A = this chain, B = another copy of it.
């Protein structure tokens, strides 16, 4: 077969694989303590109860659970109820089921943003958000994120005012990936008000808020949305399990037909079997006890990580204090480059994600993301001790 010579589209010229997903491969070497992947705790995945749900659905629905099918309304209804509990006025007709929150990002970015047009995202943000903006050749404007109170709303206002107006804003308000920080309630109201004032769609990417283990719940930005300009993205990947591949969009009802058309062009629909089994799990009330266990475990593990950082890295680093989610963001001395350090870390059998892979401009080279959710406290302690050795070698 000859070497490839055909031109690819201009659209994919900027598109890069997520480094994070390559690093996930390290998680399979059992000798390496990997704090890289954002995986939920494997031993808490509700294997048996989910198998029961699959059996129930197959016995009850038979071939209807296996055919092409419209979105499964009992699942949409559960989600609408859940959103209402969280302070978002939401009807079933506003809920659109996706294959995880990433598909929601892909759909909404296509819906509002053509290649070359301006979008506003956080300067350090989830790679999937970069893929649907930077990766598509959008003219990206970045705003900083305060490590205590979340995205800089004054910077957002300036980015909104600039002409031409942005076509899209994407924020991660809860337990930010990778920063671990949450947007304060006041700033959420301000963000929704800015979207309304400048008539710019704001996408709220929220895979983590249900995983709060400290402090008080804050309503989503969508709860402050009176203009119908905030689009909420939810996900079951972290609270059920990733292979469920289920997420949702909450949007204005009048946009659902366009969202449906876009999604059909992507991959027709989401497996009705997985939708039905998830709905069974949720409607039978299996989520709440599962979440209690998840939050307990995450609280213990985040505590172990923060204590180990305190013990081993005081004076060498600073870090965020997450109230939920999966991640802690660590900032080392300016001179340390976590990409350059990465090979030495893997040799010492510990892994993390270099922070620069989340930085739109490739800076923040002295930072890293650590995940605590899929490691036992003892492994976390050993991992941080190994990491500290690698860091001290560089100081």
Q: Could you tell me which A residues sit within 8 Å of B by CB distance? A: 1-12, 15-18, 21, 24-25, 37, 39-40, 42-43, 45, 47, 50-51, 54-55, 58, 62-70, 98-100, 102-103, 106, 110-115, 117, 128, 131-132, 135-136, 167, 199-201, 226-229, 237, 241-245, 252, 254-255, 257-258, 260-262, 264-274
Cβ B67 vs Cβ A58 within 8 A: no
Cβ B257 vs Cβ A4 within 8 A: no
Copies of this chain, tallied across the complex: 2
Cβ A12 vs Cβ B261 within 8 A: yes
Cβ A268 vs Cβ B111 within 8 A: no
A62 → chain B, closest Cβ, in Å? 6
A204 → chain B, closest Cβ, in Å? 16
Q: Give chain B residues whose Cβ lies under 8 Å from the Cβ of A266.
A: 102-103, 106, 266-267
Given the complex of chains A and B, what is the CA–CA distance between A260 and B15 in angstroms?
10
Q: In this complex, what residue of B is CB-closest to A228?
A: B1
Cβ B229 vs Cβ A6 within 8 A: yes
Beyond A37-B68, A47-B62, A264-B131, whether A272 also contacts B255 by CB under 8 A is no
A265 contact from B135, B199, B254, B262, Cβ within 8 A: B135
Given the complex of chains A and B, what is the CA–CA distance between A274 and B132 in angstroms?
26
Ordered by A's residue number, 10 sampled pairs between the chains whose C-beta atoms are within 8 Å are: A9-B114, A15-B258, A17-B257, A18-B264, A47-B66, A66-B243, A114-B115, A136-B265, A245-B270, A271-B274
Cβ A242 vs Cβ B15 within 8 A: no
Beyond A267-B102, A268-B100, whether A1 also contacts B128 by CB under 8 A is no
Q: In this complex, what residue of B is CB-closest to A62?
A: B47
Cβ A47 vs Cβ B58 within 8 A: yes
Given the complex of chains A and B, what is the CA–CA distance between A45 and B67 in angstroms?
9
A252 contact from B4, B106, B110, B131, Cβ within 8 A: B4
Q: In this complex, what residue of B is CB-closest to A200?
A: B6
Q: In this complex, what residue of B is CB-closest to A44?
A: B63
A223 → chain B, closest Cβ, in Å? 14
Q: Give chain B residues whose Cβ lies under 8 Å from the Cβ of A18.
A: 261, 264
Given the complex of chains A and B, what is the CA–CA distance between A8 and B109 in angstroms?
10
A251 → chain B, closest Cβ, in Å? 10
Cβ B115 vs Cβ A115 within 8 A: yes
Q: In this complex, what residue of B is CB-closest to A99?
A: B267
A261 contact from B3, B6, B15, B62, Cβ within 8 A: B15
Beyond A9-B167, A10-B114, A66-B242, whether A106 also contacts B267 by CB under 8 A is yes
Most buried by B among A106, A227, A271: A271
Given the complex of chains A and B, what is the CA–CA distance between A71 and B50 in angstroms?
22
